[in-house]
Structure 1
Amino acid sequence: MERGNIKDSAGDRLFNAINYTFMLVILIIVLYPVVFVVSSSFSAKEAVSAGQVLLLPVGFSLEGYQAVFRDPAVLRSIAVSVGYTAAGTLINVVLTIMAAYPLSRRDLWGRGLIMGLFAFTMFFSGGLIPTYLLVKNLNLLDTPWALLLPTAVSIWNMVITRTYFNATIPDELLEAAQIDGCNDLTFLWKVVLPLSGPIVAVIALYYGVEHWNQYFNALMYLKNPKWYPLQLVLREVLIRSQVNSDMIGDSKQMAELAGLSDLLKYSLIVVATAPLMLVYPFVQRYFVKGVMIGALKG
């Protein structure tokens, strides 16, 4: 490799070769399971159960996806999960910014004490049973609010948002806005938020992934199937397929159902992860900026 008229030394070329080789190995290690899962989901159940799929689909088939979407509960749960993700992320982002911005202001009285109280909750909580009793006493059981309100704010996301505000919003900008008659709410809406696209995108992605993958809280707080998120419904589909394959006595039919159960595993993984993989490219450039918060300053 040449940079202008300067040629790389032998040591530089060796270092680059080792780096590229190492990164290629890491890429293969990370990428192969993804390719394997996708290929298996489009393969015939006989090939999947026999372990014939290594890289490309064997006996192309959509039987796994047909089995998944044949259940009307799956389509309903996708719409429910989209609703949880959209509403929950909106609530999370709004409350996180409302907490992070005041704590980033040096003129906030008692800022250290308030931040200490927030940080305390990162390490100590009431536990599973007291949390369940609180949700029950608030009459949130078996309602969508049981999945939205208990996780309304992530303290870690609030901390990195506050750090971003500290690093990118100078005090001089606030002073200039105040001289022009700008109040705190207007400054947050018209100045801070337009300058905070990267961190808003990052925490929205974090919160969105958390809501989309929500499973345990739904299992604890929900009884009505109409409120079940996608992950809970997919779990039930997989359990039903395994139970059916274990209960059938005919060996040939049992083998077919076992193969379908194996195929369903891969199809369910793709169905559960594909929406997030489609969204990520649109926020990638903001995500790269956001994860570098605190790395450079100046």
Structure 2
Amino acid sequence: MELSIKNKFIQKTRAQKSWKDRVFDVAVYGIAILMILSIVYPLWFIIIASFSNPADVANGNVWFWPKEWKLDGYIELLKQDIIWRGYLNTIIYTAVGTLIALVVNIPAGYALSRKDLFGRKWISIFIIIPMFISGGLVPTYLVVKAFGLLDTFWVMVLPFAVSSFNIIIARTFFKESIPETLWEAAQIDGCGTIRYFLTMVLPLSKAILAVIGLWTAVGIWNSWFNALIYLNNENLQPLQLILRRILISNQSLLGTTTGELASELRRLSEMMKYAAIVVSTVPIMCLYPFLQKYFNQGVMVGSVKE
């Protein structure tokens, strides 16, 4: 009975919509579809271009589907043995770096959200300052060198693990989403601060963990500049830096060849360029669907005022 009344009310409400409301709905849906296409199509174009003849791409003959399927770019790219080492390095850097970032930033954000933290205001100012003022590349390099981290595994995961932005986002989440009454109830049951954080706060913070974890993972996965500055050992270099070196080598080789060989190298170079983008992007994109549920909840945290 209640369901039928509800359906009648919905149908009546829809019938009462004016033509202005319908025009507005169409406009909103139209804009949303255009925005989705503007994001999805470039990604799709990169994928189909990686399987297409570069001449067809340059002449505008490839729009939604390859004119002819070619795997030359992927074959040449994956024939490089160092690619697989770079993949392994990047996966390890991303996993370890994300874990360290969560272990450092999440407790710091929770501590700053506590009203009983001594000197909370000054600590917050101390953390916020690096968001606007950086020490610069040379001082950072000297600090990293002084700690003996140059050309080591840890240089990719330790020096940049602390993020002021992530700490502030985590602090806002804990202040707005974790009720103070929960802490009072835990104290009555004899629960200490650390136990309360580990057993009660963290299970309720999956959204912010997913958001900060995804942001950190994407940042580490795409990082190449830090490796360029701090790593000389090829066995420690991540995927992005190796792909960059391969593409630069191909471009340099083009300048030393002529004739049909140059034409073939140019074709392979263009296909490898698109293939490199796909190879380096797809794995991290596959991670997003598993975190989407929590990401949608946590990404709005920064918009909530304190």
TM-score (norm 1): 0.95
Which of 36, 47, 69 is 2:56 aligned to?
47
Match of 1:178? 187
Q: Confirm whether residue 57 of structure 1 aligns to residue 70 of structure 2.
A: no
Q: Within 5 A, what are the aligned runs for 1:135-284?
A: 135-249=144-258, 251-284=259-292
Q: Within 5 A, what are the aligned runs for 1:19-34?
A: 19-34=28-43
Match of 1:10? 19
**Is this contact kept in 2: 1:42–1:62, CA < 8 A?**
yes
CA offset digits 1:23-47 (Å, max 9, x no partner): 2222222222111100011123443
Amino acid at match of 1:114: I
Q: Secondary structure at the match of 1:125?
A: coil
**Is there any run of 5+ residues in structure 2 with no aligned partner, and where?**
1-8
Q: Confirm whether residue 113 of structure 1 aligns to residue 122 of structure 2.
A: yes
Match of 1:76? 85
CA offset digits 1:68-102 (Å, max 9, x no partner): 11000001100100000000000000100121111
Q: Distance in 1 between matches of 2:159 and 2:298?
A: 26
**Is there any run of 5+ residues in structure 1 with no aligned partner, and where?**
none
CA offset digits 1:160-191 (Å, max 9, x no partner): 11111001111111111111111111000000
Amino acid at match of 2:245: E
Greater Cα shift, 222-231 or 117-126: 117-126
CA offset digits 1:193-236 (Å, max 9, x no partner): 00000000100000000110011110000000000000000001
Q: Distance in 1 between matches of 2:170 and 2:287?
A: 21
Deviation at 1:130, TM superposition (A): 0.5
**Is this contact kept in 2: 1:140–1:146, CA < 8 A?**
yes
**Consecutive aligned runs of 4 or more in structure 1 exceeding 2 Å deviation:** 44-52, 294-297
Q: Distance in 1 between matches of 2:50 and 2:124?
A: 47
Q: Distance in 1 between matches of 2:182 and 2:33?
A: 45
Q: Distance in 2 between matches of 1:102 and 1:31?
A: 40
Deviation at 1:296, TM superposition (A): 6.4
TM-score (norm 2): 0.93
Match of 2:5? none
Deviation at 1:48, TM superposition (A): 3.7
CA offset digits 1:98-117 (Å, max 9, x no partner): 21111110011110010010
Greater Cα shift, 64-73 or 46-55: 46-55
Which of 296, 301, 304 is 1:293 aligned to?
301
**CA RMSD of the aligned region, Å?**
1.5
Q: 1:295 to 1:235 in 2, by over 3 A?
A: closer
Q: Distance in 1 between matches of 2:209 and 2:302?
A: 16
Q: Distance in 2 between matches of 1:27 and 1:167?
A: 31
Q: Distance in 2 between matches of 1:219 and 1:295?
A: 35
Deviation at 1:295, TM superposition (A): 4.9
Amino acid at match of 1:279: L
**Is this contact kept in 2: 1:49–1:262, CA < 8 A?**
no
**Is this contact kept in 2: 1:47–1:59, CA < 8 A?**
no
**Is this contact kept in 2: 1:77–1:229, CA < 8 A?**
yes
Identical residues among aligned pairs (%) = 43
Q: Secondary structure at the match of 1:15?
A: helix
Q: Distance in 1 between matches of 2:62 and 2:271?
A: 11
Q: Distance in 2 between matches of 1:10 and 1:131?
A: 61
Q: Within 5 A, what are the aligned runs for 1:121-132?
A: 121-132=130-141
Match of 2:6? none
